[in-house]
Amino acid sequence: MVFPMAFRDQQKYLDYLKRFEAKMDRSELEDYKKFAKRQKDDEDFDTVSMKRLKDIYDKFYVTVDKSKYDHLFKKSNESDN
Splitting the chain (81 residues) into consecutive groups of 10 residues, what average pLDDT does each group show? Answer: 69 95 95 93 88 94 83 68 50
Q: What is the DSSP letter of 45?
A: P
Q: For residue 48, what pLDDT is reported?
A: 92
Q: For residue 43, what pLDDT is reported?
A: 83
**What burial letters (b/e) apply to 13-36, b meaning 16+ CB within 10 Å?**
bbeebeebeeebeeebbebbeebb
Residue 36 CA: distances (Å) to CA of 15, 19, 51, 56: 9, 13, 15, 13
pTM of the model: 0.71
Q: Which amino acid is at 26?
A: R
Distance CA 79, CA 71 (A): 13
Q: For residue 5, what pLDDT is reported?
A: 63
